[in-house]
Structure 1
């Protein structure tokens, strides 16, 4: 394994962590690392890049479609998620890292409390959390598949 491949592997690992910790642009890091490798390696590495980018793009689309459909079925509007994300960003600066999650939950709950009342606010918040978790799981799955594609490409090319 060359020095470049070690750096690419590290960048991919950081990208995968970035999918879980939404401070880093995880999918973009994985794609950029594989692009750098393909540019340096050339030849069949371009095929690996195309497959990896297709996986990352698919994951980016599916991570919104599937949870979005679940949220619509649960009756949680997209504006609730946007409000949760906004409060999450504020929470991130108030309580670093953990504040992002705490702020998101609080934001979603407060919007749903105002919209639905006390008895239905928490179930709607749980639905929103499950949808976000599903989106992260989908994105992580496709990013891992892209990373595995790159790993196979390193061995084969």
Structure 2
């Protein structure tokens, strides 16, 4: 697979990660389709292993969705901008501090945005709890699964 194709797969995967943050966009399916595209073009055992792992992980995530609270962003009281910033913070955090940085990035960015918006530490934490109850867990679990897939893909591309 050429460099430009890898860049295109990476951009589609990034689009899927952002799609996880937007309600109604099938972010998981976009991430999985990017891995499928790469595996069909690469045809190495590592590529097929990542595809099988991605398929299994995203299917488990789909099975867990009914157990998590539904997304109700309007009930959190936080503006949409805060939720989008939290998602971007999770994506950046995942790659800065592998795996656990996604959770820290999401919660930390939501707290920072809400603290700046509301003006106090206490109000910021109250808002973070409200965001996590209204949207956070379902978004965080789905984003974390997609980030694991993206991280596995990137790991195989760079070091495989």
TM-score normalised to structure 1 length = 0.58
Specify the alignment match of 1:78 in structure 2.
Answer: none
Determine which structure has more spread, i.e. the larger CA radius of gyration: 1
2: CA distance between counterparts of 1:52 and 1:153? 13
1:36 maps to 37
1:64 paired with 2:66, answer yes
* Unmatched segments (≥5 aa) in structure 2: 75-79, 84-128
Gaps spanning 5+ residues in structure 1: where?
69-80, 89-97, 102-125
Query: For the Cα contact (< 8 Å) 1:63–1:134, is it kept in 2?
Result: no
Count how many residue pairs are aligned between Structure 1 and Structure 2.
Answer: 106
- Residue 7 of structure 1 is matched in structure 2 by 8
Task: Give distance in 2, aligned partners of 1:9 and 1:128.
Answer: 29
Structure 2 match to 1:115: none
- State the SS of the aligned residue for 1:11: helix
Regions of 4+ moved over 4 Å: 126-129
Task: Report how far residue 22 of structure 1 moved.
Answer: 1.7
In 1, the alpha carbon distance for the partners of 2:134 and 2:64 equals: 12
Per the normalisation by structure 2, the TM-score is 0.57
